[in-house]
Every structure is written in structure tokens, then in C-alpha cells.
């Protein structure tokens, strides 16, 4: 049995707890700087313990793995605390603000023989894994273009973590990381890129268009936290194409031939809400005493962050707390 501790009590922590309970895994302890919020999690999800500090959570010997559900800008600090306390870690995306921070944490985990993984749940979705198999098998021929967008109007105020540069706010690390991940899964690392951005009044990126160039393919990605400009992906090949609605969380995908006729429909309904698949992987790895997942290896996380680093550098944009 792997007893999970949860660090942070925000929206994504709720979804994680719902997934854990839905697959009957063990939620042991919750920690929040606001002890009343932690207590509500105990009531709602059946935790055995609630702590008002992260240090108390990490001092509990019963905690076998910590899910870090705090804002991006705090991930480096909090994952490091977990590793120094001897805890295995599942950290919500984006793993850190840049690839240097990620590399340091992975090196620390390896030196302590601890498991650590980024919770980039899209990688684990059965529908996405089936899409990758179809592409790799050549079912749509050679991939020549990918269009992937994750744009929404958050409606949040300027004081929300989405718009706070200190907390790693902005569209790129919050939602842009999803189309980047899909494109890397299908086409790999690009040869070059172009990136257009609109910066918001708080100093973070709020809308961007990123184009990746490959020898025989192009990928166009849009991300926004202020405009609802679409949330779907198309993978175009020489023999057909695949449409994936809500690709970052999808249960379905449709394969078409060159004549726009459906040749296959992929449908894999989530057991709970989709986060369960990354949880299965974490538990499997820990039980086997593995320190790295083959589905979301350390290098995959580092490579995506290298790319977001390069994109931000082209905008002359750095987060205040970057290391």
C-alpha cells in the first residue's frame, strides 16, 4: 500500500483526491497553510490526517508519496523539501519554471533513490496512447502538420495565480504545455520555432501562437488564458488525419481518410476523471522500486522545459523567482 500525502488544497488537489478515491487508493494526509481548508479535505475525502504546515506532513513517517499541488512557482521549493525528507513525489505540471530547476531535482531524487515524476496526465490517457500507436504504425501516413489549441477565457481577476509572475503564471506553463507535449509525442523535438506572444498587464504571457518546424512537417499551437479560441487538435498525415477534441483530457479521437470519411473511432471512457492513469503509474513504479517512469521519463520533462525556456527567451520573459 502506498499512502499518499497531498501538499496544497486548491482545485487540482480536489480532482486528484476524487481520482484516488475512485480507484480505492489511500489518501493518508493533507497539508495546507490554511488548516481549515485541510480539515475540509479530511471531511470530503477521508484523509486520516490534516496538517497546517508542509513540514509536519513531511515529518510523518506514514507518508509514502507526496502529490505536490501548489502553484508552478513553488514546485521547485516544495519538491526539494519532499526529496530532502525522503519522500517519493508526484508533482503537478509544470514540474518547475525551467529545465535547470528540473534537472537539479531529478539529480537529487536519483542520489536518494527516490521516485519523482511530473503529473502531465495527458501522456497517460489511453486514448492518446492509442493515437500515438496509430501514428507510429503509419495509419495516416507520414505526419505533415499538427494543429493543437488550448485557449480559454479564465474570467479570473488580476490577483489570481494564473496572472501572478511570482507563482509562474501565464498561458505557456498553464495550458501551452499541453499542445507542446502532444506535438513532442508525435513529432519529437523541433528543428526551429517561431513564437508570437501577447503579454498582459501583470507581466505574464496571456496569449501565444507557437509554430514548430520539422524537415517534413509543421506544428501550429495556440494557447490563451483570456480568450476562448478553441480547444482541440488535428494530426494531418499523407493518408488521412485524426481529430482529438479536448486533447489534453480526451476520452475520444476520430480517424479520417483523405476523403474525410471516418475509418476508426477511438473511445476509452475514464474510470474516474482521467488523473487515475498517472496515479496507477506512480503506484506501479514505487511498488517495483523504480525511480523513474517510462511513460513520463525525466528527460521528457526536461526537454519540454528546455523548449518553454527557449520560447520565453525569445520574448525576453523570465519569472522573478527563477533559479
Query: Of 3, 49, 87, 93, which residue is the catalytic one?
Result: 93
Q: Is 132 a catalytic residue?
A: no
Q: What is the 3-state secondary structure (H, E, C) of the chain?
A: CCEEEEECCCHHHHHHHHHHHHCCCEEEEEECCCHHHHHHHHHHHCCCEEECCHHHHHHCCCCCEEEECCCHHHHHHHHHHHHHCCCEEEEECCCCCCHHHHHHHHHHHHHHCCCEEEECHHHHCHHHHHHHHHHHCCCCCCEEEEEEEEEEECCCCCCCHHHCHHHCCCHHHHHHHHHHHHHHHHHCCCCEEEEEEEECCCCCEEEEEEEEECCCCEEEEEEECEEEEECEEEEEECCEEEEEECCCCCCEEEEEECCCCEEEEEECCCCCCCCHHHHHHHHHHHHCCCCCCCCCCHHHHHHHHHHHHHHHHHHCCCCCCCC
Annotated catalytic residues are: 93
Amino acid at each position: 500500500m502506498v499512502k499518499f500525502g497531498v501538499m496544497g488544497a486548491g482545485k487540482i488537489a480536489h480532482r486528484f483526491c476524487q481520482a484516488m478515491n475512485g480507484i480505492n487508493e489511500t489518501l493518508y494526509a493533507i497539508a495546507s497553510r490554511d488548516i481549515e481548508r485541510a480539515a475540509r479535505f479530511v471531511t470530503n475525502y477521508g484523509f486520516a490526517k490534516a496538517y497546517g504546515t508542509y513540514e509536519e506532513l513531511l515529518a510523518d513517517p506514514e507518508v509514502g508519496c507526496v502529490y505536490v499541488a501548489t502553484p508552478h512557482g513553488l514546485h521547485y521549493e516544495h519538491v526539494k523539501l519532499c526529496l530532502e525528507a525522503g519522500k517519493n513525489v508526484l508533482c503537478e505540471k509544470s514540474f518547475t519554471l525551467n529545465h535547470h530547476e528540473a534537472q537539479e531535482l531529478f539529480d537529487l531524487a536519483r542520489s536518494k533513490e527516490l521516485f519523482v515524476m511530473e503529473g502531465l496526465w495527458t501522456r497517460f490517457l489511453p486514448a492518446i496512447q492509442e493515437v500515438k500507436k496509430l501514428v507510429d504504425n503509419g495509419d495516416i501516413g507520414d505526419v505533415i502538420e499538427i494543429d493543437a489549441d488550448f485557449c480559454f477565457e479564465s474570467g479570473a481577476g488580476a490577483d489570481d495565480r494564473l496572472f501572478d509572475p511570482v507563482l509562474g503564471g501565464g498561458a505557456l506553463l498553464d495550458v501551452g504545455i499541453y499542445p507542446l507535449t502532444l506535438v513532442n509525442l508525435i513529432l519529437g523535438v523541433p528543428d526551429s520555432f517561431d513564437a508570437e506572444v501577447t503579454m498582459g498587464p501583470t507581466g505574464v504571457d496571456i496569449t501565444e501562437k507557437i509554430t514548430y518546424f520539422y524537415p517534413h512537417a509543421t506544428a501550429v499551437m495556440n494557447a490563451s488564458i483570456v480568450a476562448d479560441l478553441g480547444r482541440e487538435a488535428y494530426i494531418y498525415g499523407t493518408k488521412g488525419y485524426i481529430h482529438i477534441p479536448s486533447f489534453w483530457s480526451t476520452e475520444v479521437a476520430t480517424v479520417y481518410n483523405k476523403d474525410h470519411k471516418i475509418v476508426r473511432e477511438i473511445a476509452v471512457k475514464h474510470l474516474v476523471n482521467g488523473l487515475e492513469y498517472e496515479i496507477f503509474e506512480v503506484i506501479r513504479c514505487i511498488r517495483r522500486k523504480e525511480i523513474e517512469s517510462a511513460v513520463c521519463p525525466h528527460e521528457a520533462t526536461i526537454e519540454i522545459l528546455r523548449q518553454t525556456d527557449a520560447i520565453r527567451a525569445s520574448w525576453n520573459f523570465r519569472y522573478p523567482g527563477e533559479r
